[in-house]
């Protein structure tokens, strides 16, 4: 099924589509930018809680594969339950709103691989080093989209550069992470950044003009669950040993999976992949703040400076960076 060449920054919704997941609001480019910023901010808030839940689960004795598997084993059924609940009594789905299931499952596979590379990469190199390398993904997204025909203003590229500088300051142990035998960890971090960039771009293409985003998110999480379950068949999975571990998993599934997966898809739909990636790059600052509050970790002055630079890049992108119109990108074919 091929969608028409629709501007990714304009969400076209028919007023009589009563069976859709998202509100039927008549949108403008300005309102889309504000809404997109909101959804990406919600996603960042959810993902920023992930280190807290992960720390609790690791201390409970769970391994990376255990955490990744149970994360999606809880998230996918909860999403499908929500899809069923809001779909009761709805009108039949119109042909133009049928979801490309195979491509959504592929996005789920990317999420599963990203989760595993992150967990194993963090075992090999310092977290600060991993974060710096991972948050090169906004630049990767911008470069790929440039080749695909989406142009970003000069201020937008400046915001990308500021993002890289800010993330580097926020993770001050980057230089220490470059010493020693850490080639595999660095490669995993780069691979993780590439996977995330591809996910952003695929989401922008596949969900362009679609409004059944909760169902789409359910397909994505199911794809991730199937991938991790296949791996678990060969490696085994440990049950969470305590009630507090189950609560942390539930928080991981709802706050750091369901909420951000839906919000990222919606934010990319409204902002486009390049701008959404830059807006999402203030996650390291928020994660550091939450770690300081809940995990008693300290923030150095250089990290505060990096946070200011990151926030500045987002402000620039949302103001000066949005003045130049972005050329629409041709759509790709996605199977039903």
Query: How far is residue 261's CA from residue 81's CA, in Å, rounded to a whole number?
Result: 16
What is the value of pTM for the model shown? 0.71
Whether pLDDT at 170 is above 70: no
Each residue of 247-276: pLDDT tens digit?
999 999 999 899 988 888 888 888 877 677
- Would you state the structure tokens that stand for residue 161, as one six-digit string? 């550069």
What 8-state DSSP symbol labels residue 238?
Answer: P
Non-local CB neighbours of 48 within 8 Å, separated by 6+ positions: 283, 286, 287, 289, 290
The pLDDT of residue 307: 66
pLDDT of residue 124: 74
Write out 72-117 in H/E/C secondary structure: HHHHHHHHHHHHHHHHCCCCCCCHHHCCCHHHHHHHHHHHHHHHHH
Q: What is the pLDDT of residue 325?
A: 43
CA geometry: angle 169, 268, 114, nearest 5 deg? 60
Determine contact, residues 156/275, Cβ cutoff 8 Å: yes
Q: What is the pLDDT of residues 282-295, one digit of tens each?
A: 666 666 676 667 66
pLDDT grade, residue 165 (50/70/90)?
A: confident
Mean pLDDT score of the chain, rounded to an integer?
74
Provide the β-strand partners of residue 2. 333
Which one-letter DSSP state was computed for residue 136?
T
pLDDT at 238: 92
Identify the sign of the CA torsion 267, 119, 281, 286. positive
276 burial via Cβ count (<10 Å: 0-12, 13-18, 19+): buried
Question: What average pLDDT does range 13-21 have in this prediction?
Answer: 38
CA dihedral for 229, 233, 235, 236, sign (positive or negative): positive
So what's the pLDDT on residue 145?
A: 77
Q: What is the pLDDT of residues 109-130, one digit of tens each?
A: 999 998 888 878 777 766 666 7
Q: What are 332's two structure tokens? A: 């790709």
Q: Which residue reads 């989760």 in tokens?
A: 115
Residue 240 has what DSSP assignment? Answer: P
Q: How confident is the model at residue 218 (pLDDT cuts 50, 70, 90)?
A: very high
List, for residues 32-85, the tens digit of each pLDDT value.
777 888 888 888 888 778 777 887 888 899 988 999 999 999 999 999 998 888
């Amino acid at each position: 099924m091929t969608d028409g060449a629709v501007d990714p920054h304009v969400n076209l919704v028919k007023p009589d589509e009563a069976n859709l997941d998202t509100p039927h609001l008549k949108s403008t480019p300005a309102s889309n930018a504000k809404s997109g910023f909101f959804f990406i901010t919600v996603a960042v808030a959810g993902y920023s809680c992930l280190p807290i839940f992960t720390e609790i689960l690791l201390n409970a004795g769970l391994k990376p594969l255990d955490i990744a598997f149970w994360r999606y084993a809880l998230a996918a059924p909860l999403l499908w339950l929500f899809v069923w609940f809001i779909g009761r009594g709805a009108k039949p789905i119109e042909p133009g709103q049928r979801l490309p299931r195979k491509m959504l499952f592929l996005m789920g596979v990317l999420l599963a691989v990203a989760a595993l590379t992150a967990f194993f990469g963090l075992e090999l190199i310092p977290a600060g080093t991993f974060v710096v390398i991972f948050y090169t993904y906004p630049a990767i997204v911008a470069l790929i989209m440039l080749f695909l025909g989406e142009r970003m203003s000069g201020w937008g590229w400046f915001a990308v550069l500021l993002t890289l500088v800010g993330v580097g300051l926020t993770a001050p142990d980057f230089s220490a992470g470059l010493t020693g035998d850490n080639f595999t960890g660095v490669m995993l971090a780069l691979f993780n950044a590439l996977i995330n960039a591809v996910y952003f771009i695929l989401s922008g293409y596949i969900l362009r003009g679609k409004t059944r985003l909760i169902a789409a998110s359910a397909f994505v999480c199911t794809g991730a669950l199937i991938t991790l379950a296949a791996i678990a068949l060969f490696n085994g999975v440990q049950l969470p040993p305590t009630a507090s571990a189950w609560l942390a998993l539930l928080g991981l599934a709802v706050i750091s999976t369901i909420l951000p997966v839906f919000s990222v898809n919606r934010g990319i739909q409204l902002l486009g992949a390049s701008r959404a990636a830059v807006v999402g790059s203030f996650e390291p600052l928020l994660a550091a703040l939450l770690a300081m509050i809940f995990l008693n970790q300290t923030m150095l002055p250089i990290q505060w400076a990096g946070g200011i630079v990151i926030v500045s890049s987002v402000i620039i992108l949302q103001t000066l960076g949005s003045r130049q119109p972005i050329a629409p990108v041709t759509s790709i074919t996605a199977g039903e």
